[in-house]
Structure 1
Amino acid sequence: MNSMLSRVRAVAESMATSPQPAHARTAIIDIGSNSVRLVVYDGPRRIPFILFNEKVMAGLGASLAKTGAIEPDAMERGLRAIGRFAHLCRAMKVTDIRCVATAAVRDATNGHDFIARARALGLTVELLTGAQEAIGAAMGVLSGIPHADGIVGDLGGGSLELARVRGGAVEQTISLPLGVLRLPQIRAKGPRLLERTVAKMLDKAGWRPEPDLPFYLVGGSWRALARFDMQLTHFPLPVVHQYEMTAARAEQLARIVSHVDRARLKQIPAMTGSRVPTLPDATALLSVVVRQLKSSRLIVSAYGLREGLLYENLPQDIRAHDPLLVAAEAEGEAQARFRGHGDRIDRWIAPLFPDDDAAMRRIRRAACLLADVSWRANPDFRAERGVEIALHSNWVGITADERAMLAQALHSHFGGGVTAPMGLDRIARPDALRRAALWGLAIRLAQRLSGGVEGPLAVSRLEHQGDRIALYLRDDDVDLFGEAVERRLRHLAQAMGVKYQLLGGQGQGQEQRPEQGQR
């Protein structure tokens, strides 16, 4: 699949891929135990896109386990980083900067010195408690996986936060001093000490496991582990968000990682060199935690504390918006020839698919919102461009198989036919891809009939009548039915295995049958 799509990237480099700003720019400066990071956001409030992202591996928490303080060199690296970040925010005209610090600054004996020096640089550092950090990470998971129901685990350099999420809310939370920078000292004292330590900490915190709940993985070390698993299993879609593993896989990976040298780990795509040294400890901790919690499966979240800080400040009505559909609408509007009728397309083709359940209707609607994203591409690559956008855009609230369905729908809509592009059949079921291909052909018909504008869809409709599909046009609008429209209507009918018919305002029309051998 990657070889097929690589051509598209070259064609699409100069194409617009981001919507116009919907509100003032915001930024999060996240001062963690391992890294200090700036992320600048723009676009829709519910699911803003990342305008800029930079991190510095300052290592503020590297010496905490030994000295209890931030080392002078680490403090200077961290302060230089946030000084640069503050300057960039001013240059980017960011109106809302939130600067937060977590376990390293919270626990260090000289953490107050770091905060005071940051204030001199013009930044007010908000020192998060362990509970606030856990809530922020959990909110981030709910932002990117709205129906999450289970335990969120956020592994940082200085601490591990756990939170129970259910029904869109955060319930019990705890913060444990089990960050990856603290684990080597614990594990050095014996192979079983980590298990006993975690069990004791959970018991002391009053955390009672609920068996068979998903465990949502947050944090760079655990995301790096998921990418390693993708390599081992040859997973065809290199998107870590909502990547799933069995709970038993954690223990298997712990054994594998302990026997793999660092040079091999550094060869993994998207595996930063700074994550390699912490991977064995992070994997060992994951194995222990899921065993103690009796988790059912592992689900990776690309969203965490930073996204959670944005999400928890949103009004409830905006929180309720579907992140996939908000992002698809913004992307579709940015690239459309004529804006504003993705929902009209969805309503227009819906009568052909009365059996679609809520989950399928949602992906179908996303495809309709993206119905114009490939029009600027070279005509020979429009179908591939659609696949690229579906598979590799920064969507959240969508599983791997749903991405494959979205890719199939756009592939078929942009002229790729009903055959699945190479690799999609390894991600989604054949019947799901078949359904998505029909959506694509229906969208293709809608775009040809309407010319890409809304008006002609408002004066026409489709119906599925037993063994046929009927296209209704008012008598005054029958001239919209040209040869190209009939050809696309015929292709759709052939793919569905039915007849097709054009009907005027009085219900009069001519019935056509699929061509022989095309049922």
Structure 2
Amino acid sequence: MTIRASRADRAGSFSGSKAERAIIDIGSNTVRMVVYGGSLRAPTVLYNEKVAARLGREISQTGLMPEDSVELALRGLRRFRLLLEDLEVEDVETVATAAVREAKNGPAFVEEVDALGLSPRVITGEEEACLSAHGVIGAFPGAAGVVADLGGGSLELVEVSDDETGHPVSLPLGTLRLVEYRQDKQADTRKRLEKVLKKGGWGKPIDAPLYLVGGTWRAMAVYAMEARDYPLTDPHGFTLSPKEAMKLARRLASSRPADLRAIERISSMRSETMPDAAVLLQALLKRLEPTQIVFSSWGLREGLLYDRLPPHQKMQDPLLAGITVFAAQRGVPPQLATRIAGWTVDAIPPGGNGEERLRLAAILLSLASMQIEPNLRLNQGTDWALHKRWMALDARGRAMLAATLAANGNHLDLPKELRELADEESLKEAMGWGLATRLARRIGARSRRSLHVSRIDKEAGKLVLSLQASHADLFGLPTEKDMALLSDWLGLKHAVRIVPDDEWHGVGD
């Protein structure tokens, strides 16, 4: 489906981010439409709606998609079509997976969907596996291991390494089909599932991470996070050791759906499938022996978007791509954040391990938080750092973003949850970024000129602020206080040096 509309006339219904593109995913369990905006490299979900049509619920018995499920799916697709027209989204891609490709009435269903103008593409199991893997590669640059995408009709397994995929396999182990493998004893059920994995070519240890994609897996992550009172709420990027994952799987396999349904963030649909999926997870852990479990919220739909990017955009850092757009929508030009990041480097040198990307991301978010009312700033900014879905950012990195934001607002008593996520040294470094950002923005009210006529660095055990003589009066009382805050935090004395205009360009050379 392609709807032509001028970008200037694009619907502005999403508070600062235009609806640019959409993916419609016709799966065995749900038919879902997701509308995206924001950065091409780190797209933002603007609208997400699903219809639980359960198209694949009778495939193994009858070979057909039930008539009532087909009508429910088409009803939802007709609504999606109208929404997309009204939003003037011109770029829409529609794909169908296991139920449609396997059902005898799949071709007739595709014709009806095509008549709506949605141009569906039925993808093979191998394509589905690779697309899900590309979503993981997009979310976790450098990912190496195995992706396991659990849908309603199938389980896709595929290797990932060096941004490439290998050995894609689609197995009839979707959540709607797992009931067929049940035995009286869990151990016997697990062994049956292990045999299917082995027959499909997945019977040996992988000695690498296992990336889990799919709503039922994510519901398991939510359960684990709730059980340990984890400070973060987004299951994306949540990790478990094999031992922790097996403990979780055994506990969930013995749980009743009604008990799982009582957990606020677990839907009734997921609660029904989690016990069987937990036995499948046991089989995967036994057969593959992964080094760790990583939950990914990016999968097939994001893989479709990632595949369309030119190589130079695929190489972008998804964290910085996402935060740059987010901050720009809140009045923060990326050039300003880059200048401030460079301005702070001599006072707080890089700590290594990719910290400079975190510094830039933290400064962007800190500057964006200044648009929030002061009484809401700390709480809302901390929520941005800890709970908003950022790509390529682990728990420690989230804590560092939050610590930078807090220090930028002169809140040096950090929320306790940050210390559960990051070590003291990392938090101290991040708070230094925040205090330096505070000083940089307050010297000249974020003006470009102020960062050219000032410099901060360490000299002989002191923190020295140098100012060009023409702008010596920028050192007012607020600046003096901020200078003292930063130097005290670094354990240094501080000094101010006024440099004659004709000598300024040699400072720091």
Question: What TM-score do you get using the length of structure 1 for normalisation?
Answer: 0.90
Which of 56, 76, 79 aligns to 2:51? It is 56
Offset at residue 17 of structure 1 (A): 9.4
> C-alpha offsets along residues 187-246 of structure 1, whole Å, 9 cap, x if unaligned?
147645544444444444444634321111100000001111111111121111110111
Alignment of 1:101-180 (within 5 A): 101-180=96-175
2:487 equivalent in structure 1:
493
* Equivalent position of 1:443 in the other structure: 437
Equivalent AA in structure 1 for residue 30 of structure 2 = S
Aligned partners of 2:259 and 2:231: how far apart in 1? 20
State the Cα distance separating 1:378 from its structure 2 match: 2.5
Partner of 1:456 in structure 2?
A: 450
Q: Contact 1:26–1:95 at 8 Å: present in 2 too?
A: yes
1-structure distance, mates of 2:334, 2:137: 30
Distance 1:213 1:18, change over 3 A: farther
Which of 222, 226, 247 is matched with 2:242 structurally?
247
CA distance in 2, matches of 1:156, 1:205: 17
Deviates more, 1:455-464 or 1:58-67: 455-464
Shift of residue 412, structure 1, vs aligned partner: 1.0
Aligned-residue RMSD, C-alpha: 2.1
Q: Aligned equivalents of 2:235 and 2:332: distance in 1?
A: 32
Counterpart amino acid of 1:303? W
What SS does the aligned partner of 1:234 have?
coil
385-394 or 172-181, larger mean C-alpha shift: 385-394
Tell whether the 8 Å contact from 2:444 to 2:450 is kept in structure 1 after alignment: yes
Q: 1:387 Cα deviation (Å)? A: 1.0
Q: CA distance change for structure 1 residues 358 and 177 in 2, over 3 Å: closer, same or farther? A: same
Aligned to 2:223: 228
1:410 to 373, 389, 405: 405
Q: Distance in 2 between matches of 1:489 and 1:456?
A: 15
Select the residue among 198, 204, 209 that pairs with 2:204: 209
| Corresponding position of 1:292 | 287
Structure 2 residue 298 is the aligned partner of structure 1 residue 303: yes
User: Which AA in structure 1 matches 2:492?
Assistant: V
Matching of residues 460-471 of structure 1 within 5 Å: 460-471=454-465
Contact residue 432 and residue 486 of structure 2 kept, 8 A: yes
Q: CA deviation at 1:506?
A: 5.0
- Name structure 1 gaps, 5 residues minimum: 1-15, 510-519
Name segments (4+ residues, structure 1) moved above 3 Å: 16-21, 188-211, 337-340, 506-509
Q: Are the equivalent residues in 2 in contact too, given 1:382–1:415 (CA < 8 A)?
A: no
What secondary structure, in the 3-state scheme, does the structure 2 residue paired with 1:269 have? coil
Moved more, 462-471 or 139-148: 462-471
Q: For the structure 1 residues 190 and 258, does the alpha-carbon distance in structure 2 shift closer, same or farther, using more than 3 Å as the test?
A: closer
Q: Which amino acid aligns with 1:179?
A: G
Q: In 1, are the aligned partners of 2:56 and 2:152 still within 8 Å (CA)?
A: yes
Which stretch of the first structure deviates more once superposed, 375-384 or 321-330? 375-384
Say whether residues 1:46 and 2:44 are aligned partners. Answer: no
* 2-structure distance, mates of 1:273, 1:127: 28
Contact 2:239-2:293 at 8 Å conserved across structures: yes
The one of 82, 87, 94 equivalent to 1:92 is 87
**Residue identity matched to 2:362:** A
Establish whether residue 260 from structure 1 lines up as the match of residue 252 from structure 2: no
Give me the whole-angstrom Cα distance separating, in 2, the residues matched to 1:275 and 1:406: 32
Structure 2: how far apart are the matches of 1:121 and 1:257?
41
Match of 2:419?
Answer: 425
Please say which of residues 472-481 and 311-320 is displaced more in the overlay: 472-481
- How far apart are 1:270 and its partner, in Å? 2.0
- Deviations along 1:479-499, one digit per CA (max 9) or x if unpaired, are 211111111011100011001
Q: Which residue identity does 2:22 align to in structure 1?
A: A
The change in CA–CA distance for 1:358 and 1:18 in structure 2 (over 3 A counts) is: farther
Offset of residue 466 of structure 1: 4.1
Aligned AA for 1:158? G
Structure 2 CA distance, aligned partners of 1:197 and 1:260? Answer: 20
**Unaligned residue ranges in structure 2 (runs of 5+):** 1-12, 505-509
Evaluate the alpha carbon distance shift between residue 254 and residue 472 of structure 1 in structure 2; reply closer, same or farther with a 3 A threshold.
same
1:71 corresponds, among 66, 72, 80, to 66
- Once structures 1 and 2 are overlaid, which stretch shifts more, 139-148 or 374-383? 374-383
Alignment check: 8 A CA contact 1:473 1:504 kept: yes
Change (3 A) 1:221 1:262: same
* Cα distance between partner residues in 2 of 1:18 and 1:369: 19
Residues 488 and 423 from structure 1, CA distance in 2 versus in 1: closer, same or farther, beyond 3 angstroms? Answer: same
Q: Offset at 1:389?
A: 1.4
Q: Which residue of 2 aligns with 1:10?
A: none
How far apart, CA to CA, are the structure 1 residues paired with 2:246 and 2:17? 45
Q: AA paired with 1:424?
A: L
**TM-score, normalised with respect to structure 2:** 0.92
SS at match of 2:168: strand
Q: Deviations over 1:49-99 (max 9, x none)?
A: 112110010000011121111011111111111111111111111111100
Counterpart-to-counterpart distance in 2, 1:311 and 1:112: 28
Flag the 1:354–1:133 CA change in 2: closer, same or farther, 3 A.
same
- Code of the residue aligned with 1:65 in structure 2: it is S
Amino acid at match of 2:126: A
Distance 2:25 2:446 in 1: 43
- Please state whether the residue corresponding to 2:148 is helix, strand or coil: strand
Matched residues in 2 for 1:338 and 1:154: separation? 38
Q: Tell me what 2:469 maps to.
A: 475
Deviation at 1:323, TM superposition (A): 0.8
1:331 & 1:212 partners in 2: Cα distance? 37
What amino acid is aligned across from residue 326 of structure 1 in structure 2?
A
Q: 1:27, 1:39 within 8 Å by CA — same for their partners in 2?
A: yes
Q: Name the count of aligned residue pairs.
A: 491
1:326-353 CA-partner distances (Å, limit 9, x unpaired): 1111111111266741111101101122
Aligned partners of 2:231, 2:38: CA distance in 1, in Å? 30
Give the % identical residues. Answer: 37
Letter in 1 for 2:310: P
SS of residue in 2 equivalent to 1:58: coil
3-state SS of paired residue (1:277): helix
Q: Which moved more, 1:307-316 or 1:257-266?
A: 257-266
Q: What is the rounded CA distance, in whole Å, between the counterparts of 2:197 and 2:457 in structure 1?
A: 58
